[in-house]
Chain A
Amino acid sequence: MAVQGRSRDRAKGVLSLSPPDRLSPMVAYPCAFMRFPVTRRSVLERIREADVDERRAAFGDLATAYWRPSYHYLRLHWRLSPETAEDVVQAFFTTAFEKGYVEKYDPAKAKFRTFLRTCLDRFIQNTRQAESAIKRGGEATLLSLDFPGAEHELAAYPALVVDDADRFFHDETIRALFARTVDAMRDAFTREGKPQVFDVFARHDLHPSADATYATVAADLRLTTGQVTNCLHAARRRFRELALASLRDVVATDDEYRAEARELFGVEVSPERSRGV
């Protein structure tokens, strides 16, 4: 993700964002993880680390997952201007890091996503705190975020009224997770020398025409129907693995992971065990 926001090069960085909106190494290579299941620590567990560098890196990953839903939420639910929403996002994650918001999270009370959105709401409502933080945020470059890109995406929400804030934030979180997953897939298949697998996936599942069938995609890409079938199987499975691994990273507990996976894909998963790939 390119740095396309307003100038942010005037102060020292506090958090480092995984470039460019990428998934963590374990997520980027889920097959290894799937084949040799290990106990993974989620981002939230890493944030509770005593080691400052590890904590900072984990917080960058957390911001990667949630900044875009937060920005859209501020723009559409709170009706903030693009500039203000941009500042609030930066300030919110800085303050959350400095004041240890995430460490105060109690899984027994709410899903982490709901907790984060509630924190954001309180941050906005507490004007004095927000103004102060925004001022400090304005003096420090925190995250290199593609705010113009996020703003451009809002064109897809003509005159949207957010009735259910939690639902909207949830949907945006899933949209961002899937988008990161698709980008990671494209990178992975390109790196593995199998770009056509992603091409088939894009043609059939991401940007399907009204008459897209295995046969039409095969004809378009000069493949056999059997090859299209195999590519789609491989791509969908990779998508599922990456999305679940990414999801596991940004939820707080194993139970929350199971519940989110059930809601997202209607499947039963386990953080400890996995089918061999």
Chain B
Amino acid sequence: MTWLSDAVVGRLREVATWPELTSDRYEIRRPVGRGGMGTVYAAYDTVLEREVAIKVSNALVPDDGLEERLRLEARVLARLEHPGIVPVHDAGVLDDGRLYYVMKLVHGETLAARAPALTTEADRLAVFLRIAETVAFAHDSGVVHRDLQPANIMVGRFGEVLVLDWGVARLVDLIESPGIRVGTPGFMAPELQRGDSATAEPAADIFALGALLNWILGDAAVPRRLRAIANKCAQPDPRDRYSNAADLVADLSRYRAGLPVSAHRDTLAERAALWFTKYQTLVFLIAAYLLMRALFAFFQRTP
């Protein structure tokens, strides 16, 4: 009997499910990731002479659930043209019946891997804001992601932030949406945990964004106003959260600009501190002017 080394066994496990593309436009190079729904391969587009990624369904048998999710993901990505969402170039069916779609190949790492390198609050907020802006765009386009979590966020080599894994997204203009169990523990809204995924509203994403904000900020001392923003997102009752991601983005932008935020009622002292922080240059200039006037008056009166 043929003897197979560990290396050959490993290679056979890999190549046995490599996509068989009918066209010779794309040359499959290597697998770059595998999820429950599909496997992503790095490939080379011989027509446009560029690297691309091809996501192929894992269903070797007709599996309505998996195929529907992959098809949905391709359509959602195609609908959402945004810098924070991977563009889709092509889609089709392999010889063996599996669905696939071609997209931009992203070089980078997941947010879970990148997070330790984000050492300042400003860095973390900058990344989070990009995520929230992308989700806000999706909500505005009628799409609810339903599974936002650190492993589904990719941070590129040049700081670009991409929201991935739209396979369980819900198109809110569809009457029927797949009512599958979706979400990740720790990031899943209570209504999704109760099994209401088929009617998930943007509020479910807001909850996940709040969990993500708390996660990315970590245990470090966080300003009360910023923590209040995260807590408002993570309210158990969807009606107590931001109504959509755009409102969250607006509040975060106000926080970064040193303005009052809707999630937190400032005390008089906090307002004064905010006002002072915002106008500190002017305050210093006026104080310096008044001090000079006082000194001038003092020395004039002195004989």
Contacts and interface: CB of A to CB of B under 8 A. Distances in A.
A236 B15 contact: yes
Interface string B11-27: 11101111010001000
B20 A233 contact: yes
Contact of B1 (A146, A232, A277): A146
B63 A268 contact: yes
A266 B39 contact: yes
Instruction: Classify the secondary structure of A's interface with B.
Output: helix
Contacts of A153: 3
B90 interface: no
B17 A182 contact: no
A48 B97 CA distance: 36
B57 to A, nearest CB: 9
A interface residue count range (under 10 / 10 to 19 / 20 to 34 / 35 or more): 35 or more
Instruction: Classify the secondary structure of B's interface with A.
Output: loop
Contacts of B95: 233, 237
A276 B61 CA distance: 9
B42 to A, nearest CB: 15
A195 interface: no
A277 B98 CA distance: 12
Interface string A38-54: 00000000000000000
A274 B6 CA distance: 29
Taking each of A205, A239, A266, which has the highest tally of chain B beta carbons within 10 Å of its own beta carbon?
A266
Interface string B212-242: 0000000000000000000000000000000
Interface string A205-239: 11110000000000000000010010011001101
A269 B20 contact: no
A178 B4 contact: yes
A277 B16 CA distance: 15
Nearest to A207: B8
Contacts of B160: none
A156 B12 contact: no
A143 B107 CA distance: 54
A182 B96 contact: no
B2 interface: yes
A275 B63 contact: no
Contacts of A274: 60-61
Contact of A268 (B6, B12, B60): B60
B122 interface: no
A183 interface: yes
A182 B66 CA distance: 30
Contact of B4 (A175, A229, A267): A175
B224 to A, nearest CB: 46
A149 B17 contact: no
B5 A265 contact: no
Interface string B37-81: 001000000000000000000111111001000000000000000
Contacts of A68: 1
B60 A275 contact: yes
Interface in A164-192: 171, 174-176, 178-180, 182-183, 186
B9 interface: yes
B181 interface: no
Nearest to A205: B15
A156 B3 contact: yes
A206 B66 contact: no
Contacts of A20: 1
B68 to A, nearest CB: 13
B34 interface: yes
Interface in B96-129: 96-98
B16 A243 contact: yes
A180 B1 contact: yes
A236 B24 contact: no
Nearest to B7: A208
Interface in A1-53: 1, 20-21
Given A205-B12, A226-B24, A266 B63 contact: no
A85 B8 CA distance: 26
9 contacts: A178-B8, A226-B24, A233-B20, A236-B16, A240-B60, A244-B60, A268-B60, A268-B63, A275-B62
Given A182-B2, A268-B63, 16 more contacts: A21-B1, A156-B3, A174-B9, A179-B1, A236-B20, A240-B16, A264-B13, A265-B60, A266-B17, A266-B39, A267-B17, A268-B60, A269-B61, A273-B61, A274-B60, A275-B61
